[in-house]
Structure 1
Amino acid sequence: MTAQTDLKGKTLFITGGSRGIGLAIAERAARDGANVVIAAKTAEPHPKLEGTIYTAAAAIEKAGGQALPLVLDVRDADAIDAAVARAAQHFGGLDICVNNASAIDLASSEQIEVKRFDLIQQINMRGTFLVSRACVPHLRRSVNPHVLTLSPPLTLRPDWFAHHLPYTLSKYGMSMVTLGMAEEFKSDGVAFNALWPRTTVATAAIKHVLGGDALMNRSRLPAIMADAAYAIFLRDARAFTGNFLLDDDVLREAGVTDFAPYRHDPAAELQIDIFVAPDGQPIP
């Protein structure tokens, strides 16, 4: 088949999409008239973090799409199966799965608490596996099915493991799910790809966990990941699978030449993200 031209009428199942990159991807698809399932834990307002599944649903509908907000903890296998089944029944199928839900903890091997270690493995790697597996039977019936996981390229640099081994294991686990399922379901025509930002992205995690306003200023906006994801969804699933992609590479290939609108602060020097090796070239 040839690449599609928009996402009108397509149904996306997005985990952890009540804010940040997940919500940006949802709103970008909604502008085409897509159906978006927001499956996340945040049903009540958080004291420090903006957004709930209901405010996300309102934003999706304002952008022009149809929304279904579902409370979901991706650590609960039965709840995942139920949410995916409900989403497919509600919209008549699924076309795209986005594994966006993720927990971060950059503690060292000695510093991290066991419960935090377990949490990031369960949400990141295990959740990605369970959500992807639950979506596959429905995606097989789609014309151009995609699974997109927000995880890094599988570059096995020892220093990236040494600095924050528990988190690296969890994120690389997500990428290994992508690698394995891309091959496992290739004959079914279901695409599995991974997308990662070249620079830090201005999200709640950046502001409240990693670097505050200073790092926010050195980050790009979530829109860059949303636009890159959108470009991937338009690709032919049978011909484009098993790829580990950086956001600006995807957009450059799609014809984008001006990256200035994606900057949080046009005057600040951009910060290369974790798991990305600087190549010596200036970041656009």
Structure 2
Amino acid sequence: MDRFLGWVTKLVLVFLYVPIVAVVVYSFNASPRTSSWEGLSLRWYVELFGDGPLLKTLQTSLIVGIFAAGLATAIGFLSALALTRYRFKGRAFFLGAIVLPLIIPEIVLGVALLTVFGSSGIKLGVVTLVLGHLIVALPLTTLIMMGSLSSLDPSLPEAATDLGCTPWQTFTRVLFPLTRSAMLASFLLSFTTSFSNIVISTFTSGVGTTTMPLRIYSMLKTGITPEINALGALLILLTLVIIFAVGLQQMRRILVGAEEKDQAPDAAPDTISLQTATTER
């Protein structure tokens, strides 16, 4: 049975990673057709950097993704803080309203957003794209931040206040250091969701604000060239760089935390974190 499960796992990994490897390999194919191999070439990378319209859509996707992820992370943190620290009337309804976009099909959300923007006289563009992607990303960030904040000792903010911290100092020196990893995860997940979104972008993008996924999807009508493979290979490389950078940062933080625990073995973890956060005060 273990051998069978091992083979199934290997087949699943091959199924997942073979397309990624194929994109990278065929980005160096000299042939304009992906069905044949004519040798190694950097031709499609040169054409990629000379394709102004495609690079413009990439710039739009990056701008929208950064703004949408930043807003979703900030609002998600505040929403999660309210939901985990306070018990107020309508709390269940508020939480349900936040996670509702995860249940409603995106095409329904897209039509609803287009109707609202049209009836309100809001011109479609970067702002509408950010708002549309924010609705999709906000439930993800809120749930991630709720999990992180729920694991903290609820008395930490009160203890920081007793030590003389202002609300801003409590956030910057206590809550932020303890939830930094969750915030980073929320931002990256929100950015990925926004960057790859097609359905919501179809209904909320305007003239001159076409995103990269929409551009690639429209190219299906005329045929996709290996230039898209070159773009995909660069995005894969960028993703790997981000993963390694985040991984090294997390490993460094783990090692620093282990050293602090060795220096103060009898102190409680929350006490160590609070003392470290308020040392510079």
Q: TM tier, shorter chain? A: under 0.3
**Pair member with larger Rg:** 2
Q: Give the structure with the larger helix fraction.
A: 2
Higher strand share: 1
Provide TM-score, normalisation by structure 2: 0.28
